[in-house]
C-alpha cells in the first residue's frame, strides 16, 4: 500500500519529521480557519451595515431637508447597532453639504449623543483616538465641542493639534476661531502654514477675528495675518493694510503692499503710489507689483518713474505692472523709450520685448497703412539708438517677409541679401 | 403635466443617493450615472430635461459631457447645472463657455440647489 514519504521508514529522525509536518499542517489549518472566519464575519457585518444604511438613509435625508424633530422622520427608535451607520451617513454627507442640511446634521449629532461620545474619546490615552475624535467633532460642527477642542490645542501630539485646529476651523464661531489666531503666535509648536490654511478656509469670519486681535499679535504672527488677509481678499482688511504701509517694519510694509494688490481695491492706489518712494526697495517692489493688479490708471505716471529705480526688482515689477494696465500702460512703456533715464528706457525695452509688443510692431513694418508703418519705424529707430538691436538683427536676417527684412536692414545699416518670401 | 426627468452624474455615491432622494421627494423622475461614459449613454437614451453634472469623473470629464449635451440637437435643450469641488475662476468660466446654465460649488446648499433646479425647469417649460 502506498504511503506518503514521511510515513515510510522509522527511527527518531523520522518521528521528529512526521511530528513537525503535523504541527505545521495544524498551524496552517488553524490560520486558514481564522482568516476565512474573520473574512466571512467582516462580510456579514458589512452586509448588515449596508442593509441598515439602505433602511435608514432615506429617513435621515428626509429629516435633513425638512423641518421638525428627528423622531418624526425615523421609521423606528434608534438602536445601539444603528449608531455607527448613522454616524457614517453624517460623516459622508457633511463633506459635501453646507447650510441648513449641515446645521441639521449638527443638531442630530448632538441629539443622538455622538458629540458627547466623541468628547469622551477626546480625553483618550491613545493619541489616534483623540485625533479621530477631533476630526469627527469638526465634521459635526457642534459649538458644544468648542472649549474641549480649545483645551486640546495643547495636546503633546502634533497630529492631534492639527486635527483640533481643523475642527475649530469647521466650527467657525468666533470662540472657535480666536484660539487659532493665537496659534499663529506659536511657530515652535505649530506649523504656521497649516493654521493659516485653516483660517483661510474659514474665510471672512477669520478676517474679523484677526482684525480684532492684530495689534496684540507678535511680529511673525502679524506677517501671517497679513498674508491671510491677502489670500481671503477681504475688503474689510483694506483699511488696516493701508495703515500698515506706514508701519516701521519694512517686512510688514512689503507684505501689506502685496496683500493690497491681491485684494485689488482701487481705493488703495494712492497709498501704494506713496509706497513706491519707500526707503526699503522690497516695499517699493511690492507696491509696484500691487499697482499692476489694480484696475485704475492714475498710477501709470508713477510706475513710469519707478522704471528708473536703482533696484532691478522695482524696475522689473513696475514694467510688468505697466504691461498689466493694458493699452494705456503699453503706450506709457513706448513713451519711456525717449526717457533720459537709461535704466527706465532699458527696462521699458525689456518688457516690450517680453510681452510681444515689439514683435507686433515689427509686423507693422509691412503694413499698408503708411502711418502705422511710420510709427513702427520710429519705435525701431529708438531701439537702435538705445543699442537694443538683438531682436531687430535676428528679424533682419530671418523674417519671412522680404520688405520687413529690407527695412530693418536699412535701419541697422546691415548688408542683408534680399530673399524671396516663402 | 409631464414629470421632469433629471440626471444626476457624479462619481461620489453619497451625492448621488442624497440628490436622488431629495429630488424624488420634489416629484422629479431621477436617473443617475457614476462616470462620464455612462452619463453620456444615459443622456442619449433617456434625454433628461436637466443634468446635474460633476466636473471630475472617470472616463470623461464634465466639461466634455456638457459640450456634447449642448452640441447635440437631441439634447441641447437640457439644462445643465455643474456641481463641482473646483472653485477656480477659470473652471467656472470654462463651464459656462461649454454651455452650463448654472454653477454650484461643493460643499453645496441642498435647498438652494433644489431651488435652482426648479427655476431652470420652469424656465424650460415657459420656453417650450
Distance CA A237, CA A214 (A): 11
Q: What's the mean pLDDT when you consider all of chain B?
A: 88
DSSP state of B87: -
N- to C-terminal Cα separation, chain A: 95
How does pLDDT run across B43-89, given as a tens digit for each residue?
989 889 999 999 988 888 889 999 999 988 888 889 999 999 988 88
C-alpha cell at A29: 489549518
The answer to whether A196 touches A165, Cβ cutoff 8 Å, is no
ipTM higher than 0.90? no
Q: Is the pLDDT of residue A416 over 80?
A: no
Question: Which of A61, A87, A94, A170 best probes binding to B when mutated, by most B CB atoms within 10 angstroms?
Answer: A61
Burial A311-334 (b: 16+ CB within 10 A, else e): eeebbbbbbbbbbbbeeebbebbb
Q: Which pLDDT value is given to residue A9?
A: 66
Q: Is A101 on the interface with B (CB under 8 A)?
A: yes
Q: Which pLDDT value is given to residue A7?
A: 62
Q: A421 pLDDT band (50/70/90 cuts)? A: very low
How does pLDDT run across A161-184, given as a tens digit for each residue?
888 888 888 887 777 778 777 777
How does pLDDT run across A5-63, given as a tens digit for each residue?
656 667 777 888 888 999 999 999 999 999 999 999 999 988 988 888 888 888 888 88
- Span B91-114, mean pLDDT? 91
Report the sign of the C-alpha dihedral through residues B104, B106, B108, B113, in that order. positive
Q: Where are the domains of chain A?
A: 233-337, 356-422
Backbone angles phi, psi at A125, to 5 degrees: -80, -20
Q: Is A58 on the interface with B (CB under 8 A)?
A: yes
Distance CA A245, CA A239 (A): 10
- The CATH topology of domain A233-337 is 1.25.10
User: Does this model's pTM top 0.95?
Assistant: no
Distance CA B50, CA B117 (A): 8
- Span A391-401, mean pLDDT? 86
Judged by CB atoms closer than 8 Å, whether chains meet at A96 and B12 is answered as yes
How does pLDDT run across A62-113, given as a tens digit for each residue?
888 888 888 888 878 888 888 888 888 988 998 899 888 888 998 888 888 8
| d(CA A361, nearest CA chain B) in Å | 30
Residue B1 to residues A60, A100, B27, B79, Cα–Cα distance (Å): 30, 31, 11, 19
Judged by CB atoms closer than 8 Å, whether chains meet at B18 and A93 is answered as yes
Question: Which of A86, A97, A105, A141 best probes binding to B when mutated, by most B CB atoms within 10 angstroms?
Answer: A97
Question: Which of B56, B83, B110 best probes binding to A when mutated, by most A CB atoms within 10 angstroms?
Answer: B110
- Residues near B93 by Cβ (< 8 Å), separated by ≥ 6? none
Judged by CB atoms closer than 8 Å, whether chains meet at A101 and B17 is answered as no
Counting one residue from A and one from B, how many pairs have CB atoms under 8 Å apart? 47
What pairing do the DSSP bridges indicate for beta strands B79-84 and B108-109? unpaired
Distance of CA B92 to the CA centre of its chain: 15
| Chain A residues touching residue B15 (CB < 8 angstroms) | 96
pLDDT above 70 as % of chain A:
94
Distance CA A306, CA A300 (A): 10
The label of the residue with cell 457624479 reads B10
How many beta carbons lie within 10 A of that of residue A358, not counting itself? 22
Residue A147 to residues A122, A401, B71, Cα–Cα distance (Å): 12, 75, 55
Report the sign of the C-alpha dihedral through residues A246, A251, A252, A255, in that order. positive
Short-list A330, A343, A329, A252, CA closest to A294: A329
Distance CA A288, CA A272 (A): 8
| d(CA B126, nearest CA chain A) in Å | 28
Judged by CB atoms closer than 8 Å, whether chains meet at A102 and B107 is answered as yes
- Span A384-389, mean pLDDT? 85
Considering only CB atoms, A101 lies closest to which of B12, B106, B110, namely: B110
Judged by CB atoms closer than 8 Å, whether chains meet at B110 and A99 is answered as yes
The label of the residue with cell 448588515 reads A48
Judged by CB atoms closer than 8 Å, whether chains meet at B111 and A57 is answered as no
Q: Which domains can be identified in chain B, with CATH numbers?
A: 5-127 (3.40.50.2300)
Distance CA A225, CA A184 (A): 8
Q: Is A73 on the interface with B (CB under 8 A)?
A: no
Q: Is B20 on the interface with A (CB under 8 A)?
A: no
- Span A203-225, mean pLDDT? 88
Residue A243 to residues A14, A170, A252, A253, Cα–Cα distance (Å): 93, 31, 11, 9
- Decide: residue A301, CB within 10 A, 0-12 exposed, 13-18 middle, 19+ buried: exposed
Q: Is A380 on the interface with B (CB under 8 A)?
A: no
Q: What's the mean pLDDT when you consider all of chain A?
A: 86
Q: Helix, strand, or coil here: A219?
A: helix
Short-list A313, A351, A314, A310, CA closest to A330: A351
Amino acid at each position: 500500500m502506498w504511503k506518503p514519504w514521511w510515513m515510510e521508514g522509522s527511527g527518531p529522525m523520522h518521528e521528529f519529521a512526521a511530528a513537525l509536518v503535523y504541527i505545521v499542517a495544524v498551524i496552517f489549518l488553524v490560520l486558514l480557519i481564522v482568516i476565512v472566519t474573520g473574512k466571512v464575519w467582516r462580510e456579514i457585518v458589512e452586509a448588515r451595515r449596508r442593509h441598515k444604511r439602505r433602511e435608514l438613509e432615506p429617513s435621515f435625508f428626509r429629516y435633513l431637508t425638512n423641518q421638525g424633530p428627528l423622531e418624526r422622520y425615523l421609521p423606528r427608535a434608534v438602536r445601539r447597532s444603528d449608531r455607527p451607520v448613522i454616524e457614517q451617513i453624517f460623516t459622508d454627507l457633511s463633506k459635501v453639504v453646507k447650510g441648513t442640511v449641515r446645521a441639521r446634521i449638527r443638531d442630530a449629532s448632538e441629539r443622538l449623543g455622538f458629540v458627547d461620545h466623541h468628547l469622551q474619546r477626546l480625553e483618550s490615552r491613545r493619541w489616534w483616538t483623540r485625533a479621530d475624535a477631533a476630526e469627527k467633532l469638526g465634521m459635526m460642527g457642534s459649538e458644544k465641542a468648542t472649549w474641549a477642542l480649545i483645551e486640546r490645542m495643547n495636546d503633546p501630539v502634533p497630529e492631534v493639534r492639527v486635527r483640533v485646529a481643523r475642527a475649530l476651523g469647521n466650527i467657525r464661531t468666533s470662540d472657535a476661531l480666536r484660539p487659532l489666531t493665537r496659534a499663529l503666535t506659536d511657530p515652535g509648536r505649530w506649523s504656521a502654514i497649516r493654521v493659516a490654511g485653516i483660517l483661510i478656509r474659514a474665510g471672512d469670519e477669520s478676517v474679523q477675528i484677526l482684525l480684532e486681535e492684530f495689534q496684540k499679535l507678535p511680529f511673525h504672527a502679524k506677517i501671517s495675518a497679513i498674508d491671510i488677509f491677502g489670500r481671503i481678499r477681504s475688503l474689510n482688511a483694506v483699511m488696516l493694510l493701508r495703515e500698515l504701509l506706514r508701519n516701521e517694519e519694512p517686512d510688514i510694509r512689503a507684505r501689506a503692499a502685496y496683500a493690497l494688490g491681491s485684494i485689488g481695491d482701487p481705493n488703495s492706489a494712492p497709498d501704494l503710489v506713496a509706497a513706491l518712494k519707500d526707503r526699503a526697495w522690497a516695499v517699493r517692489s511690492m507696491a509696484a507689483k500691487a499697482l499692476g493688479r489694480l484696475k485704475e490708471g492714475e498710477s501709470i505716471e508713477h510706475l513710469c518713474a519707478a522704471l528708473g529705480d536703482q533696484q532691478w526688482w522695482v524696475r522689473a515689477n513696475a514694467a510688468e505692472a505697466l504691461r498689466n494696465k493694458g493699452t494705456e500702460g503699453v503706450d506709457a512703456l513706448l513713451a519711456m523709450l525717449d526717457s533720459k533715464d537709461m535704466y527706465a528706457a532699458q527696462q521699458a525695452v525689456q518688457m516690450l520685448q517680453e510681452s510681444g509688443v515689439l514683435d507686433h510692431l515689427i509686423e507693422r513694418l509691412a503694413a499698408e497703412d503708411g502711418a502705422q508703418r511710420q510709427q513702427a519705424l520710429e519705435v525701431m529707430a529708438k531701439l537702435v539708438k538705445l543699442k537694443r538691436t538683438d531682436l531687430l538683427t535676428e528679424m533682419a536676417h530671418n523674417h519671412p517677409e522680404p520688405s520687413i527684412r529690407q527695412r530693418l536692414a536699412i535701419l541697422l545699416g546691415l548688408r542683408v541679401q534680399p530673399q524671396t518670401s516663402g | 403635466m409631464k414629470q421632469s426627468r433629471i440626471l444626476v452624474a457624479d462619481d461620489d455615491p453619497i451625492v448621488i443617493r442624497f440628490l436622488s432622494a431629495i429630488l424624488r421627494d420634489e416629484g422629479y423622475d431621477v436617473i443617475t450615472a457614476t462616470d462620464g461614459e455612462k452619463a453620456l449613454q444615459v443622456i442619449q437614451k433617456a434625454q433628461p430635461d436637466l443634468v446635474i453634472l460633476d466636473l471630475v469623473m472617470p472616463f470623461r470629464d464634465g466639461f466634455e459631457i456638457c459640450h456634447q449635451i449642448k452640441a447635440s440637437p437631441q439634447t441641447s435643450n437640457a439644462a445643465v447645472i455643474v456641481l463641482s469641488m473646483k472653485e477656480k475662476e477659470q473652471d467656472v468660466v470654462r463651464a459656462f463657455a461649454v454651455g452650463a446654465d448654472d454653477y454650484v460649488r461643493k460643499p453645496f446648499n441642498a435647498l438652494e440647489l433644489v431651488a435652482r433646479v426648479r427655476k431652470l425647469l420652469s424656465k424650460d417649460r415657459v420656453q417650450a
